[in-house]
Amino acid sequence: MIILNLNESEAKQVLQRYGIPIPNGILISDSKQTISALGNLTPPLMVKAQVPVGGRGKAGGIISANSLPEAQKAATRLLGTELKSFPVKSVLIEEKRATKKELYMGFTVDRFNRYYVMLASTKGGVDIEEIAKKTPQAIVRTPINAQSGLHSFNALSIAKKLGYAGDQLVELSSIIQKLYLAAIENDAEVAEINPLIETETAGFVAADARMVIDDNALFRHPEYEAKEAQTLSLAETLAAENNLSYVKLDGDIGVIGNGAGLVMATIDLLNYYGGKPADFLDIGGGANVEAIRVALRIVLEDPDTKSVLVNVLGGITRCDEVARGIIEAVKEGKIKKPMAVRLVGTNEKEGQRILADAGISALNSMEEAAKETVKFAVGEKQ
């Protein structure tokens, strides 16, 4: 499973093609080129690590600079480092625009209803999930008819609900229409501007942008095919090399299972018991010892992971192979975190015996394993 995330500079290039204003800036990959390359930019500046992941500011990947030397120092500091498991190969240096207000604007897929939905808010600059949790009334939610699409009157209505009138109403509605067109024509699962800033001169500029391209549509977008492998984190690369399906989530409980349905059910169960999954990792059917070892390595090396749940229902996947993979990972011993194992199915007695000999207990109940893992994670936090 690959999620094709464009980084900020790539997403902004798409927006610019559709006529959405972005700040003046330059992308650099070598700190030595900073001073000469920034000659056309006016401080203050923002220096931003280009990795396809959110939360860069909190992770130290966005630095403010009041002069060109400060920008060069910040670029040197970021280039070549690792941010949220992604190597920083380039940084975007942009002019910092004077801001009157920050807005959120984005299109995403409502999978249940099978159409795009527009989300907009006058409370930009933070995750839309955080806005929804703290001030749900601040979100303007507009379903987009799959047959007729987004009309100008829809865009005008959204802009009006955000409190704009006159020329600003027209300009903002135009940006909404352009963002929708960018999402549709690029087969984006997510296309968002956060924040879209209202400047002190009453204009609008996309200060940050994010796009997630549907990898099933890459045959229509050869321009993104070369990008596919570059969007992977080190953990995702390792997973892909070993035929594992891995997606990083925002929780603290590592999840490993065999079969997408079982992994999803495990994630749902953890949520039910108050836990927050840190990943989706499906080892697939018939996984061998090495695949299990690599899967555990990926999960254990995630700094967000506090505990691990291995949930295997053996069919063509043999429980004794899973057990040996777990033992191999434990022997490496680089990182130790509490683990709960639910192991039933083909060769389960042998698998449970192998684990027991190593001092690892295997549970028959998926519910018990989930409860135990949540308890481990809570204990780690205290």
- DSSP result, 262-318: HHHHHHHHHHHTT--B-EEEE--TT--HHHHHHHHHHHHT-TT--EEEEEEEESSS-
d(C-alpha 148, C-alpha 38), whole Å: 44
In degrees and rounded to multiples of 5, residue 253 shows phi and psi of: -115, 115
In degrees and rounded to multiples of 5, residue 68 shows phi and psi of: -65, -45
How, if at all, do strands 115-121 and 99-110 pair? Answer: antiparallel
- DSSP at 325: H
Identify the active-site residue in 8, 102, 104, 180.
104
- Among candidates 7, 140, 11, which has minimal Cα distance to 83? 7
Place of tokens 């296309």: 191
Identify the active-site residue in 8, 192, 236, 348.
192
192 among known catalytic residues: yes
272 among known catalytic residues: no
Which residues have a catalytic role annotated? 104, 192
